[in-house]
Amino acid sequence: MSAAWGPNMANAASKYATFPPRMTSEGIILHEDFQLPSFELVQKDLAKLRQMKATGPCYVAVRLEGNPNPSVLPLSLSWTATILDLFAWAIFVSPEDVAPELVEDVIFVLKIFVQGLQEGTDAQLEFLGYAWDPDDPAFTKSRLTNNTRFKLSSHLLNPTINRPGEALPYIKAIIEEESIYYAKHGKVLLSEDPYVYVLYGEALVYSNIYTEETRSVLEKFLQAAQGQQSARARHFAGALLQTRMHLSLVLLQLGVDPEEQKEHTQWSAKFLRRNPTFLFECDLKYILARPGAPPHPVLAALGGPKWLEELGESPRRITNLGRRCMCGLVQGPQTKLFRCVGCQSVLYCSRACQKKDWSAHKEFCRAEARRDALIKELQQKDPFAAQRAIDGKKWTSLNDERKVNAIKSALGVHRDPSRGRTHIVMQLVEYTPKHRDMQHKFRVAKCGVFHLEDVIPDIVRIAGWDTAWIRRKVQQMFDDIAAEDGFEDSVPMLEFRSGQGIEASLGCMLTSRGSMRRTEHNPNWRQDMNKGDPPAFYRLPSGVMDVEHIF
């Protein structure tokens, strides 16, 4: 029983680009031919929208089926009828995929659409492309309304928009309507969808509303989430941390239960000291140092604003942010990870995950074991070379989030995610043994961005691998990504590293659209590849052209 998007809009829609924005339609059944309108159509409607804002909209009259007389649409639906493509795009696009310059227009459209769903008749809405489940039209209409409210609230709560007060009535309406629905079926909203309480609690806190209601909402979620089964509790891990941080502030502002307030503060501070990578830095700063908010007790417990200022340089943050299981779905702070006993390089979240990966990992694992044996022999003949090899193995296993972000910017996947599959970052590294920090035992001396096909002969020359093997290796990495659940949003990034003291390696890192939305493209990415001087441009033996700036 879900709202359905009818064929009228499907006929007007066309495919977007190779990498379209994601479409989300929780609980809404879309017509099988529906696609998000193309951005060209959206741009045309945006121009109409701005003109209508300047001159004012006009009422639209339509002829409904079975009624010879024209039906005048309410003003809210007249907006919808005039710019159908923009409304369809705003309603069904994932909030994370809305470009910053379009967010205000999307907020405006979603507000009007919520109003239109309340003011329009079923016949009028059906004419515009909406159809309701005949068994329960009221529920399906409510589900579409609440999904629209949810997306609208997500935009308003975005730190860059920062209008939580406007989100409050929409979230409250969701809770009220969904609570009634679940009660009719003998269920409780808090058990079925506790996350809506997180949203409401955040909107209250970010509006600087520190009341018993705020406390109650946050504590309800905390109790519900802590009682969830382990698999689902992991999904709420970030929300649990944020809720405890919010409660630390709310209880302090209320001046009640100092022991409980202290417990939330100390728990949050201890967790963040151990796992400063758990939340995105921009989110952490918004929670702890939001403009206009009172001083946050958790930030004080961490040492004050200086802790936030030094966050990006924290050695623990730098080396641990990329610590993920090979499945890519579990990060260190969520679940304790362990290393493969054979190679001591690859991390896993469970024995089952390790077993599943063995067919892909065994070749690498056995090669690492052979390398360890050679290092032991080398220690007797050339201690310096042996230490370089040991350091090289440790260095290549480190996870440096700054370098990951540098690779994103180098490949230009912010602008064109497909480059993660067609381009590669080539790196020549050199040993710098005087550095005590393992992270700086090697530096990238030269690097560049190239078409993968152009540099295969260079990789063959440097690593001694077979051309066919290289192509199989790349395809296998892409196939492994496609085969895993949860990777629909992933963007692969290819890199090749070589140099004295390290084994030549061809690897594939993963990023996501969500991550790219939160990290800006950095044109000075080379500065983040090393401590000190940035790498020089890499002129390969074949003479192929660097294509970093060629799109």
- The reported pLDDT for the residue numbered 373 is 82
pLDDT at 517 over 50: yes
CA–CA distance, 495 with 535 (Å, rounded to integer): 15
pLDDT tens-digit map of 16-36: 233 467 788 776 666 677 788
Residue 332 has pLDDT above 70, yes or no: no
Residue 451 within a domain: yes
Q: Are residues 346 and 371 in the same domain?
A: yes
Asked whether residue 113 is assigned to any structural domain, the reply reads yes
- Domain region containing 95: 1-155
Separation between Cα atoms, residue 355 and residue 231, nearest integer Å: 19
- Mean pLDDT over residues 524-550, rounded? 94
Q: Which of 155, 188, 209 is the last residue of a domain?
A: 155
Q: Judge whether 140 lies within some domain.
A: yes
User: For position 67, what pLDDT does the model report?
Assistant: 83
Mean pLDDT, to the nearest integer, of 319-330?
51
Same domain? 42 vs 134: yes
Q: Are residues 276 and 207 in the same domain?
A: yes
- Do both 168 and 301 map to the same domain? yes
Residue 372 maps to a domain: yes
> Which pLDDT band holds residue 513 (cuts at 50, 70, 90)?
confident
307 found inside a domain: yes
* Whether residues 44 and 143 fall in one domain: yes
Question: Residue 101: exposed, middle, or buried by beta-carbon count in 10 A (0-12, 13-18, 19+)?
Answer: exposed
Partner residues linked to 447 by β-bridges: 427, 537
Lowest mean per-residue pLDDT among 178-182, 402-406, 499-503: 499-503
User: Of 351-365, 398-412, 479-493, 525-539, where does mean pLDDT reach its minimum?
Assistant: 479-493
The overall average pLDDT reported for the chain is: 84
Among 140-149, 253-262, 399-408, the range scoring the smallest mean pLDDT is 399-408
- What is the model's pLDDT at position 319? 45
Average pLDDT over residues 369-386: 83
pLDDT given for residue 9 in this prediction: 31
Whether 29 and 170 map to the same domain: the answer is no
Q: Same structural domain for residues 443 and 358? A: yes
Same domain, yes or no, for 383 and 472?
Answer: yes
Residue 328 lies in a domain: no
Is the CB of residue 71 less than 8 Å from the CB of residue 61? yes
Residue 279 CA, chain-centre distance (Å), reads 11
Task: Specify whether 345 is located in the same domain as 288.
Answer: no
Q: Please report the pLDDT score of residue 399 as a whole number.
A: 67
What pLDDT is attached to residue 317? 45
pLDDT at 334 over 50: no
Q: 423-431 and 347-348 as β-strands: parallel, antiparallel, unpaired?
A: unpaired
What percent of the chain has a predicted confidence (pLDDT) above 90? 48
User: Is the pLDDT assigned to residue 528 strictly greater than 60?
Assistant: yes
Residue 544, burial from CB neighbour count under 10 angstroms (0-12, 13-18, 19+):
middle
Q: Are residues 169 and 217 in the same domain?
A: yes
* pLDDT at position 397 over 80: no
Count of structural domains, the chain: 3
Confidence of residue 514 (pLDDT cuts 50, 70, 90): low
546 in a structural domain:
no
Examine the pLDDT at 328 and tell me if it is beyond 60.
Answer: no
Closest by CA to 138, choosing from 123, 115, 122, is 122
Predicted model pTM: 0.69
- Tens of pLDDT, residue by residue over 94-126, are 888 888 889 999 999 999 999 999 999 888 888
16 with 146, same domain? Answer: yes
* pLDDT the model gives residue 8: 35
Yes or no: say if 361 and 346 are a contact pair by the CB < 8 Å rule.
Answer: yes
Residue 262 pLDDT: 97
The dihedral through the CA atoms of 508, 511, 512, 517 has a sign that is: negative
Among 155, 187, 214, residue at a domain's last position: 155
pLDDT tens per residue, range 307-322: 988 775 554 444 444 4
Token pair for 445? 């001396």
Q: Do 438 and 391 meet the contact criterion of CB atoms below 8 Å apart?
A: yes
- Lowest mean pLDDT, pick from 191-195, 203-207, 365-369: 365-369
Pair 147, 179 in one domain: no
Phi, psi of 210 (to 5 degrees): -110, 85
Which residues lie closer than 8 Å to 496 by C-beta, 6 or more apart? 424, 425, 426, 427, 455, 459, 504, 505, 506, 507
**Does 551 or 549 have the greater pLDDT score?**
549
pLDDT given at position 299: 96
The tokens for 326 are 């090979």
| Distance from C-alpha of 479 to C-alpha of 300, rounded to nearest angstrom | 47
In a domain, 545, yes or no: no
Question: Above 80 in pLDDT, residue 4?
Answer: no
Torsion of CA 410, 416, 421, 425, to 10 degrees: -10
Q: In whole angstroms, what separates CA 544 from the centre of its chain?
A: 34
Most confident of 134-148, 228-242, 248-262, 527-541: 248-262
In the listed set 155, 190, 216, which residue is the last one of a domain according to the structure?
A: 155
Contacts of 213 (CB under 8 A, 6+ apart): 204
CA-wise closest residue to 424 among 473, 386, 380: 473
State mean pLDDT over 61-87: 91
260-267 long-range Cβ contacts below 8 angstroms, 24+ apart:
261/297, 265/297, 265/298, 265/301, 266/301
pLDDT of 231 > 60? The answer is no
Q: Which tokens sit at 16?
A: 């977007």
